Amino acid sequence: MANISKRLQKEKIAKLLMQLSGILITGSLFLILGTILYKGLPHMTWEMISQTPKGGFYLGKSGGVLNAIIGSLYLAGLSTILATLIGIPIAIYLHVYVRQGTAISRFSKLLFDVLFGIPSIVYGAIAFSIMVFFGIRASLLGGVITITLLTIPIVVRTLDELLRTIPQDLKHVTASLGATRWESAKVMLKYIRPGLFTALLLAFGRAIGDVAGVMLTTGYSDNIPKYLDEPTATLPLAIFFQLSSPIPEVQGRAYASALILTFLILIIVLCTHFLSSKQKKHQT
């Protein structure tokens, strides 16, 4: 073959390009983490995570973003709990009570896929209009409702994937023992338990990082909320606000806040990773 060396050369070039693409894609992760670490670390102080904003905080005076950290944890925690309480029955219903492959089952799954894709700003805008209509002010409750709607599809979709991995035999066994469908559903839930926590963590991660949904509905406050109807600061919004400030100290705090959020997210990612490898072992 006369042209074989040329063909092999092409292969080599293609392979090089592929490797390069892979490096660029993976590298972008480290670039992002690196940038935030590099900029955030010099501004990171104990004050940042232990104090709420003091007077003149937004002019560069002392204080921290504890209000936003706690606010975010409240918001994400409550939304995740609510989303789970609503999401688990729906996922179970779609798997146990509705026959697979029927129009209802396919339509519902499609619906949740699509719901998952709707941007949070749309949820936020709608929730805001409803709140205005009923005269509710921006508050933790408003945020929780918005973010719950946002995270239900995540819970349902993740559980759906998990329930699909359950061997048909297991379903048949419980059914043939005379269990009602609810009873076999409980067995199934037990089977996917490690995965269940993965779903929760995914929802929590999405909830804690969302801005567009909360910026209209949750408001902002320098205090740690005590009641559901108080406006509440969230970490992503704290980053967003501080970053747009012209004062260098405040910008620095935005970088440090970004570092805190990154840290929280990485913890969630690590837990998810740990749990999903456990789920895999559990299944084999």
- Map the footprint of other proteins across residues 240-279, applying CB under 8 A: 240, 243, 254-255, 258, 261-262, 265-266, 268-269, 272-273
**Residue 55 beta carbon to other proteins: minimum distance, rounded to whole angstroms:** 26
Q: Is 108 in the site for other proteins (CB under 8 A)?
A: yes
Q: Is 78 in the site for other proteins (CB under 8 A)?
A: no
CB nearer to other proteins: pick between 56 and 132: 132
* Under 8 Å between Cβ of 203 and 154: yes
* Under 8 Å between Cβ of 119 and 146: no
Question: 238: closest CA among 26, 66, 116?
Answer: 66
Token pair belonging to 238:
């704290």
Residues in the chain: 284
- Work out which of 65, 75, 200, 239 binds other proteins, going by CB under 8 A: 239
**Residue 128 beta carbon to other proteins: minimum distance, rounded to whole angstroms:** 6
Using the CB atoms, write b or e for 211-234: b if 16+ within 10 Å.
ebbbbbbbbbbbebbeeeebbbbb
HSE of 110 in the Cβ direction (CA atoms, 13 Å)? Answer: 7
Q: How many residues bind other proteins (CB under 8 A)?
A: 86
Q: Is 110 in the site for other proteins (CB under 8 A)?
A: yes
Number of other CB atoms surrounding residue 158 within 10 Å: 21
CB nearer to other proteins: pick between 23 and 173: 23
Q: Is 14 in the site for other proteins (CB under 8 A)?
A: yes
- Work out which of 54, 59, 180, 280 binds other proteins, going by CB under 8 A: 180
- What's the gap between Cα 59 and its chain centre? 32
**What torsion, rounded to 10 degrees, do the Cα atoms 183, 273, 35, 52 define?**
50
Q: Is 29 in the site for other proteins (CB under 8 A)?
A: yes
Instruction: Report how far residue 31's alpha carbon sits from residue 24's, in angstroms, rounded to the nearest whole number.
Output: 10
Segment 203 to 232, residues that bind other proteins, using CB under 8 A: 205, 208-212, 215-216
Q: Is 44 in the site for other proteins (CB under 8 A)?
A: no
CB nearer to other proteins: pick between 25 and 226: 25
Q: Is 280 in the site for other proteins (CB under 8 A)?
A: no
CB nearer to other proteins: pick between 7 and 54: 7
- Work out which of 73, 81, 121, 228 binds other proteins, going by CB under 8 A: 121
CB nearer to other proteins: pick between 38 and 282: 38
- What's the N-to-C CA distance of the chain in angstroms? 48
Q: Is 100 in the site for other proteins (CB under 8 A)?
A: no
- Work out which of 57, 74, 123, 191 binds other proteins, going by CB under 8 A: 123
- Work out which of 41, 55, 61, 97 binds other proteins, going by CB under 8 A: 97
**Residue 37 beta carbon to other proteins: minimum distance, rounded to whole angstroms:** 11
Residue by residue, DSSP assigns 205-265 as: HHHHH--TTHHHHT---SSPP-STTS----HHHHHHHHHT-S-HHHHHHHHHHHHHHHHHH
Instruction: Report how far residue 51's alpha carbon sits from residue 39's, in angstroms, rounded to the nearest whole number.
Output: 21
- Work out which of 170, 182, 280, 282 binds other proteins, going by CB under 8 A: 182
